Amino acid sequence: MSDEAAKPGKAAKPVKVTHLHRFSSSGHAAARFVAQRVILKGVVWSVAKVTVKGKETLADLKDPFIVVANHSSHLDAPLITGALPRARARYLAAGAAADYFFDVAWRRAATALFFNAFPVDRTGQGSRSGLAKELLGRGVPLLIFPQGGRSKDGIIGPFKPGAAVLSMHVGAPCVPVAIIGAADAMPPGRNWPVPGRPPVVVVFGEPMVAAPGESASDFSARLHRAVLDLHAAHSA
């Protein structure tokens, strides 16, 4: 999963998203409920000891919104979709790298089923920000990892401004989320979490909007700081 911003690499194959109704379809949402809440959450919560904090900050949250989180493990997206209240996760669409998750039919189908995924360009060869904006305009909340990719060492790198720009254009709040311990539970290079149910914490922060006159880069930096603060406050 990845942010809207460009990243050097192999050019992605063009990805056509012709059935936008699947993102807000109640039928697709019902199938995702089984995939996400029964299968995926059941597996992840059984192989890791997951603690969720800050759900009370989401009490008044309405669609659409943008979840922004640090990214260091393949566990991150399942942890967020499983930790969110069901009403907020029902139509959540996760940004996924077009050059990996959408290049093969079975991966495309799996990410659509489990994460309601939409393609994100990491190559600099094209732009799909219009799709993300359209989804928000239809009331579909998004999950974006603004680092642009998984951290190799668990350190939370700077955020790219794509999520902040979308938030400002559409008026959707951003929800900062800190994921703690996922990099140790399932570091890059592993296909399965380490044994022993390692502890993982998911922390939701207060929804944030840009201040009057604030630039997208400043808002993005403020979101980055919020995630860092949540991570530091709950790491102990």
- Give the per-residue pLDDT at 149: 83
Higher pLDDT, 192 or 28: 192
- Give the per-residue pLDDT at 152: 83
On average, the pLDDT of the chain sits at: 86
| C-alpha to C-alpha distance for 190 and 15, rounded to whole angstroms | 28
pLDDT value at 114 more than 80: yes
pLDDT value at 177 more than 80: yes
Mean pLDDT lowest among 3-17, 97-111, 209-223: 3-17
Nearest C-alpha neighbor of 192 from the set 46, 74, 113, 112: 74
- Give the per-residue pLDDT at 93: 94
Mean pLDDT lowest among 23-27, 95-99, 154-158: 95-99
- Give the per-residue pLDDT at 122: 58
If you write DSSP's letter for every residue of 27-57 in order, what string do you get? HHHHHHIIIIIIIIHHHHHHHSEEEEE-GGG
- Give the per-residue pLDDT at 5: 36
Average pLDDT of the residues in 80-96: 93
Nearest C-alpha neighbor of 114 from the set 229, 224, 32: 32
| C-alpha to C-alpha distance for 216 and 22, rounded to whole angstroms | 30
Average pLDDT of the residues in 79-90: 95
- Give the per-residue pLDDT at 188: 84
| C-alpha to C-alpha distance for 16 and 108, rounded to whole angstroms | 11
pLDDT value at 14 more than 60: no
Report residue 100: phi and psi, to 5°: -125, -55
| C-alpha to C-alpha distance for 162 and 171, rounded to whole angstroms | 14
Q: Which range has highest mean pLDDT (18-22, 23-27, 94-98, 179-183)?
A: 179-183
Average pLDDT of the residues in 131-157: 91
- Give the per-residue pLDDT at 100: 64
Task: Tell me the whole-structure pTM to 2 decimals.
Answer: 0.85
Dihedral angle sign, alpha carbons of residues 44, 153, 219, 125: negative
| C-alpha to C-alpha distance for 230 and 150, rounded to whole angstroms | 18
- Give the per-residue pLDDT at 205: 98
pLDDT value at 3 more than 80: no
Give Cα separations from 127 to 71, 89, 145, 157 (angstroms).
Answer: 21, 26, 16, 22
